[in-house]
């Protein structure tokens, strides 16, 4: 393994690059970074950075010294446009070719836009540049319309409301996050938003946008209602960046399909949001858009590239989301086959814990302001004695 190419320089790509060097590998390392700045943390974009609590420097995952220590040939502002897995070559958008002995794909995801909504005033949030644009718009506007009541949409709604903005959320599901969280938690989270003045319009979707002099002036919902808005966020999900892999021979299906070692093909691995791998512990393939998974998977892949991993990649999924001073944490199976039950407190408590158990075996836990309980849940899921 004389040369490794990493496509994507976010959390997963950085973790992989550092783990390669920490393992003592001294080969040629090439990194293609679509962005022109050092890797930064994305979750705070919808929270601390959007609110102005953090500046851009605090977002950075690695400073100049750490990046220099990688000894890598980093091509800033370069995206991969093709890969030939037989010849083991990646082509970037400048037409340059990059041969490899090992290829790690860590390109992440891109926001989904509803067709016909890509107009001035309608924002998405994935990059720091996106966040800067939304911050600037919010500074000049008294209101925000959020299209999509998922984690990102509701986090931004909370942040904008704390800035004193009038916020409306439009969500097609009758219960926002009802497919991502237990009903008890999703219901409590929606109630929290409404208690803080967020108008949540659930069970209704967006039909079209209204324009004034070529700029967003509002939206029309599919029940005929009109909602005025000069500033809006499209937060209806994200999809893996896969189009550039057409013709590569790699299998793509809502992610790059990998085996239980995150291998997509001979000498090709995937890590982070773009990877769909076979999780042996859960008995199925999964793809996680979770910050911690990006780092864990990037490190694992580096060791597998070097032949240092014997076992499969079987992490315990873990994520958290923050709203109006409340932290919701989840650990375990992202699609448990059994119903959740309260293990501590109840839906009205300031702190509570829900568990998914099957014949006594813990599958997952969801905590509302219950960080200590989640530590215990994660230990049990990992098989670590209390």
Tell me if 341 sits within 8 A of 383, measured CB to CB. Answer: no
Domain segments of the chain: what residues? 3-110+239-305, 113-236, 325-382
Residue 162 and residue 93 in contact, taking contact as beta carbons nearer than 8 Å: no
Q: What is the pLDDT of residue 384?
A: 67
Mapping DSSP onto H, E and C, the string for 293-341 reads: HHHHHHHHHHHHHCCCCCCCCCCCCEEEEEECCEEEEEEECCCCCCCEE
* Two tokens, residue 74: 């980093």
Judge whether 149 and 169 are in contact, CB under 8 Å.
Answer: yes
Please tell me the pTM assigned to this model: 0.95
Contact 167, 156 (CB under 8 A): no
Tokens 């859960």, residue?
282
- CATH, domain 325-382, list 3.40.50.1010, 3.40.50.2020, 3.40.50.300, 3.30.390.30: 3.30.390.30
CB 272 within 8 A of CB 8: yes
SS3 380: helix
pLDDT value for 386: 56
Cβ atoms of 9 and 31 within 8 Å: the answer is yes
pLDDT tens, N- to C-terminus, the chain (386 residues):
899 999 999 999 999 999 999 999 999 999 999 999 999 999 999 999 999 999 999 999 999 999 999 999 999 999 999 999 999 999 999 999 999 999 999 999 999 999 999 999 999 999 999 999 999 999 999 999 999 999 999 999 999 999 999 999 999 999 999 999 999 999 999 999 999 999 999 999 999 999 999 999 999 999 999 999 999 999 999 999 999 999 999 999 999 999 999 999 999 999 999 999 999 999 999 999 999 999 999 999 999 999 999 999 999 999 999 999 999 999 999 899 999 999 999 999 999 999 999 999 999 999 999 999 999 999 999 886 65
**What digits encode the pLDDT tens for the residues 123-181?**
999 999 999 999 999 999 999 999 999 999 999 999 999 999 999 999 999 999 999 99
Q: Could you tell me the CA-to-CA distances from 268 to 16, 190, 205, 262, 275 in Å, in that order? A: 13, 42, 40, 9, 12
Cα separations (Å) of 263 from 11, 209, 367? 19, 43, 33
Backbone φ/ψ region at 112: left (φ over 0), alpha (ψ -120 to 50), beta: beta
* CA distances from residue 340 to 189, 224, 282 in whole angstroms, order as listed: 16, 37, 17
Following DSSP, what letter does each residue of 36-98 receive, concatenated? SS--B-SGGGGTHHHHTSS-HHHHBSS-HHHHHHTT-EEEET--EEEEETTTTEEEETTS-EE
* Superfamily, domain 3-110+239-305: FAD/NAD(P)-binding domain (3.50.50.60)
- CA dist 251 and 19 (Å) reads 26
Tell me if 3-110+239-305 shares its fold with 325-382. Answer: no
- pLDDT score of 382: 87
Q: Does domain 113-236 have CATH number 3.40.50.9100?
A: no
The pair of three-digit structure tokens given for residue 376, joined into one six-digit string: 């215990």
Whether the CB-CB separation of 324 and 159 falls below 8 Å is answered with no
How far apart (Å, rounded) are the C-alpha atoms in residues 7 and 35?
A: 11
C-alpha distances (whole Å) from 276 to each of 5, 179, 240, 282, 286 are 20, 20, 10, 13, 5
């Amino acid at each position: 393994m004389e040369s490794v190419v990493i496509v994507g320089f976010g959390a997963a790509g950085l973790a992989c690059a550092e783990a390669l060097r920490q393992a003592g590998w001294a080969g040629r390392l090439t990194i293609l970074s679509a962005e022109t700045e050092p890797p930064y943390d994305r979750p705070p974009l919808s929270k601390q950075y959007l609110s102005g609590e953090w500046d851009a420097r605090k977002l950075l995952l690695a400073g100049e010294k750490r990046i220099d220590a990688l000894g890598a040939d980093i091509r800033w502002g370069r995206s991969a446009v093709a890969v030939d897995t037989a010849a083991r070559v990646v082509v970037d958008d400048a037409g340059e070719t990059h041969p490899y002995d090992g290829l790690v794909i860590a390109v992440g995801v891109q926001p989904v836009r509803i067709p016909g909504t890509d107009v001035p005033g309608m924002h998405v949030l994935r990059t720091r540049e996106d966040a800067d644009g939304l911050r600037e718009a919010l500074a000049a506007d008294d209101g925000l319309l959020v299209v999509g009541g998922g984690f990102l949409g509701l986090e931004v709604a909370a942040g904008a409301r704390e800035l004193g903005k009038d916020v409306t959320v439009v969500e097609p599901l009758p219960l926002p996050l009802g497919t991502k969280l237990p009903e008890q938690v999703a219901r409590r989270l929606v109630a929290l938003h409404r208690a803080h003045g967020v108008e949540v319009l659930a069970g209704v979707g967006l039909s079209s946008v209204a324009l004034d002099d070529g700029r967003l002036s509002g939206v029309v919902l599919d029940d005929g209602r009109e909602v005025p808005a000069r500033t809006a966020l499209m937060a209806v999900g994200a999809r893996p960046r896969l189009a550039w892999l057409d013709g590569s021979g790699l299998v793509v299906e809502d992610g790059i399909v990998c085996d239980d070692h995150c291998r997509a093909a001979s000498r090709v691995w995937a890590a982070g949001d773009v990877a769909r791998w076979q999780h042996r512990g859960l008995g199925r393939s999964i793809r996680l858009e979770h910050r911690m998974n990006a780092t864990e998977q990037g490190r694992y892949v580096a060791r597998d590239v070097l032949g240092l991993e014997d076992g499969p990649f079987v992490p315990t999924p873990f994520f958290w989301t923050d709203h109006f001073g409340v932290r919701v944490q989840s650990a375990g199976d992202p699609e448990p086959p059994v119903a959740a039950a309260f293990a501590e407190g109840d839906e009205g408590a300031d702190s509570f814990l829900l568990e998914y158990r099957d014949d006594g075996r813990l599958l997952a836990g969801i905590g509302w302001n219950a960080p200590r309980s989640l530590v215990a849940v994660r230990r049990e899921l990992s098989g670590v004695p209390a």
